[in-house]
Chain A
Amino acid sequence: MATVISQELADEAAAARVPHRRRPVPVWRWVILLLTGVYFLIPLYAALRFAGIASFDDVVHQTGFSDALILSLKLALMTTVITLALMVPTTIYVHLRLPRLRRLLESITILPIVIPPVVLIVGVLEVSPGYLKSTPYLLGLVYVILAMPFAYRSLDAGLRSLELRTLVDAASSLGAGWPTTLWRVILPNLRTALLSATVLTVALVLGEFTMASLDLYQTFPVWIVAFDQTSGPVSTAASLLSLFVTWVFLMLIVTLASRRSRRTGTGQVELFSVRRTVR
C-alpha cells in the first residue's frame, strides 16, 4: 500500500512539473504588431532626423536642463511615495473589509481622468493654502490625484489575483500580527502590482505638462516646451532623451519584476494588470 501511495505521490509530483506547451502565435498578431510598431517608430525616426545626433550632446549643457530634470524626478519620487502610502492601505482595506465599495472606489478614482486638467488645477489653486502655493510640491499633491486611477487599477488587479482573505487569515492563524502580515505576506505578493503602479506614476509625472505649466513651475516637460522657442532640434533631442530614459526605466522595472515573478509564480508584470500562474 505504501508503495502504491508513493507511486501516486510521484505521479502527482510529475504532473505538477509538466511544462505548459506554448501555443503558436497567429500570423495576424505579428501583422498588427508590425503596423503598430511602424505607427510609433516613424514619428520617432522623423524626430531623430530633425534633431540630429549632435543635439543630444548639447541638451545636457543647456540652461535650466538639470534644474527641470531634478524637479521632475523629485516630484516623481514624492508622488510615488504619497500615492502608494495612500492607495495601498486603502485598496487592501476595501478588498478585505468593504468589498461592496470597490465599484464606488473605482468610480471615484476615475474622476481625475474625466475632469479636464485645467479645471482640476484651477480648483486646486483656489482651495490650497498659501504656503503650499508657493512651493512646487503642490504639484506633487496634484499628481497624486492624477496618478490615482492608474495606481488604483494596478493595485486592484494585484489584489484580485490573490486569495487575500485566505492569506490574511492564514498568516493570522500562524501568529502574525497586522504589520507582519502586511510586510511579509501581502506586500511581497503585491510586488508586481506595486511596480506597475510605480511605473505608471513615474511615467505620468515625467510627462505631465498642463498642470506644471498652469502652476508656473518649470518641470522637465515645461522646460522642453519653453526651450523649443530657442532651439527646435535641441528641444526635440530632449524630448527623445526623456522618452528613452522613461522607456529604459519602465523596461528595467518590468524585466526585474518578471524575473522574480517567474521564480516565485507571483504574477507576470503587465502594466495595467497582473497575471498569476494558476494551477
Chain B
Amino acid sequence: MGEIVKATNTTGTTPDAAAGVTGRAASGGAPVSLENVGKSFGTVRALRGLSLEIAPGELVALLGPSGCGKTTALRILAGFETADSGTVTVDGQDIAPVPPAKRDMGMVFQSYSLFPNMSALENVGFGLRMRKIGTADRRRRAHEQLELVGLAAQASQFPHQLSGGQQQRVALARALAIEPRVLLLDEPLSALDAKVRLQLREQIRSLQQRLGITTLFVTHDQEEALSMADRVGVMKDGTLEQIASPSELYTRPATAFVAEFVGTMNRIPGELTGGGQVSALGTVTDVQSGCADVPPGAVDVLVRPEGLRIAAVASGNGIVSHRTFLGSVTRVSVLLSGDVTVQVDLPSATAAPLAPGASVQVSLDGSPVQVTGRSRQPAAGPEPAA
C-alpha cells in the first residue's frame, strides 16, 4: 500500500507525475476512526452506532442498499452533517468542531460537481487558491494534476465541453490537488456509462495506491466495491453488518444479509442437525462456523452458484429453466421441486447439454455452507429428492 509502482499505468500517465504533484507520494494518508456514530433525521435513524477504522493509505468501501446510511457516514466524515452521538477522529484528533472547509479532505461527488463558470484548470486550482497558493505555482500544480488524470489537453475547456467521464476525472484531480489527508468518494462512478466507469475505476484505484491516500468510497455497486477496495464494509439499516477483505466477504459472509447482498446466493431448504451438519439436495455437509445461533431444524442453506454441482440425468431433482452465457462461465437456472429456483455456474464448455427443459440433478459440492433461519415455507410436498 502506498508504494510507488514504477510502471506505466492503464491511463498512460506516469507515476512520477503523481510523486511530483504532491511531493509526498507513498507517505501514507491519515488514519480515520468512526466510533459508535449515531445520526437521525427526524424519526429516521440513519446511523445506529457505526464504528469503522480506516488504516493510513487504505481504501475502504461502504457498500449497501439505498438508505442504509453509507452516504450519511461519509458526509459526517466530510463535515457536511453532524453526528448526534459518537466520535470521529482523523490522525487521532476529534474533528467534530472542525468545519468542512478546514478538514483537509478531498471529495468527489456523485453528480458532476465542477464549477460551471470555471475552466478545468481553474476548477483544479480552486482548492489551491483557497490555500493562498500564488498564481504561477497554482497553475503549474493544477496542470500537473490534470496531466495525472490524462486531461492536460482539456485544461482550458469548461465543464459543459467535457464528457461525464472527463468531468469526474477533473473532479478527482481537483480533490487530489489540495493534497488531502483523506479522500472521500461519494458514488463517483454511478452517473457514468459502463465503459467509462470501468476505466475510471482503474484510474482512481491506481492513483489512490500510488499517492497512498486514506480513502472512503461509498457505493451501492458491489462490483465496484469488491474490485477497488482493500476492505469492504456492508451496511444495513445504519449499522455495519461486516467489514472484511473482498475475498473474505464473498467466501465467509458474516450474516445472511451480507451473503445475499454480495454476489449471487442461492437459498435452498435444508435440515440442520445438532452435530453442525446440514442436509440439503440429498447431500450432507458441514456448516460454516459463525452459524451457531441457528437452532436445529428446518433452515435455509446459503450456497453460491459455484458451490453447486449439476449433472444432466434422466429423472433428476430439477429442470433447467434457462441459462445465461457470461463468457467463460454459463449460469444455469434450475427449478427444483418445491418451487425453489437455484442458479448454478459452470464452465461454458460443459453447459451445452443443459438446455432449457433438460432434467438435471443438483447437489452441494460438499464444502462447508452457511445456514440461516427458514425464510419461507416450502411448498407442500417432500424435500427435493436426492
Chain A residues in contact with chain B, CB under 8 A?
Answer: 1-2, 5-6, 8-9, 12-13, 15-17, 162-163, 166-167, 169-177, 180, 184-185, 188-189, 191, 263-266, 276-277, 279
List residues of B (114-168) whose CB comes within 8 Å of A's CBs: 114-117, 126-127, 130-131, 150, 153-154, 158-166
Cβ-closest chain B residue relative to A172 = B100
Chain A hits for B130, CB < 8 A: 174-176, 180
Q: Is the CB of A277 within 8 A of B160?
A: yes
C-alpha spacing A176/B8, complex, angstroms: 35
Chain B residues in contact with chain A, CB under 8 A?
Answer: 8-12, 78-80, 99-107, 109, 111-117, 126-127, 130-131, 150, 153-154, 158-166, 171, 174-175, 178, 184, 195-196, 199
Q: Is the CB of B163 within 8 A of A166?
A: no
Q: Is the CB of B174 within 8 A of A174?
A: yes
Interface centre among A1, A9, A177 (most CB of B within 10 A): A9
Q: Is the CB of B109 within 8 A of A169?
A: yes
A181 to chain B, nearest CB (A): 9
Chain B hits for A13, CB < 8 A: 153-154, 163, 166
Cβ-closest chain A residue relative to B103 = A173
Partner of A265, one of B107, B109, B158, B164: B158
- CB contact under 8 A between A189 and B78, given known A163-B112, A166-B109, A173-B105: no
- CB contact under 8 A between A2 and B166, given known A170-B107, A170-B115, A189-B117: no
What are 21 A-B pairs with beta-carbon distances under 8 A?
A: A8-B195, A9-B150, A12-B196, A13-B154, A16-B166, A17-B161, A163-B111, A167-B113, A169-B78, A169-B113, A170-B107, A172-B100, A173-B105, A174-B174, A174-B178, A184-B115, A188-B117, A263-B158, A264-B117, A266-B116, A279-B162
Q: At the interface, is chain A mostly helix, strand, loop or mixed?
A: helix
Cβ-closest chain A residue relative to B195 = A8
Chain A hits for B154, CB < 8 A: 13
- CB contact under 8 A between A16 and B163, given known A2-B8, A8-B199, A173-B107: yes
Q: Is the CB of A2 within 8 A of B101?
A: no
Chain A hits for B174, CB < 8 A: 170, 174
- CB contact under 8 A between A176 and B116, given known A265-B160, A279-B164: no
Chain B hits for A16, CB < 8 A: 161-163, 166
Q: Is the CB of A279 within 8 A of B113?
A: no
Q: Is the CB of B126 within 8 A of A174?
A: yes
B112 to chain A, nearest CB (A): 7
Cβ-closest chain A residue relative to B174 = A174
Chain A hits for B102, CB < 8 A: 175
C-alpha spacing A265/B174, complex, angstroms: 20
- CB contact under 8 A between A12 and B165, given known A163-B112, A277-B160: yes
